[in-house]
Amino acid sequence: MLQHVVALTWNDSVPENYAEVVNKALFDMAKTIPSVRSYRCGADLGVSSHANADYLIVAEFDDVAGWQEYDQNALHNEVRVKYFAPYVASRAAAQITF
């Protein structure tokens, strides 16, 4: 299995409660990509003084090929452009196997 983790920090122009909008777009998108085995996302809870990200995405795939299918998916790229490009100040991502 491969796990893909993305941590995002919003810029100052992000709308109030934007995570709710993004959650819907991402969950709807994930349902259309066959290689996605598990998909979780949401706003940071704000319970730690050490948190440095505003939004997290955790997705699971059978293998690298499944992640590549997701990463190159046309709808995924549309979501990136429409929902993230205008509001992301920083992004960190990593993939691990387990």
Evaluated on CA atoms 52, 47, 22, 60, the torsion sign reads: positive
| Tally of structural domains, the chain | 1
Mean pLDDT of the 77-83 span: 98
| pLDDT tens profile 1-16 | 999 999 999 999 999 9
| pLDDT tens profile 18-40 | 999 999 999 999 999 999 999 99
> Is residue 51 pLDDT above 90, yes or no?
no
Residue-range definition of the domain harbouring residue 13:
2-97
Q: pTM, whole model, 2 decimals?
A: 0.95
The CATH number of the domain holding residue 55 is 3.30.70.100
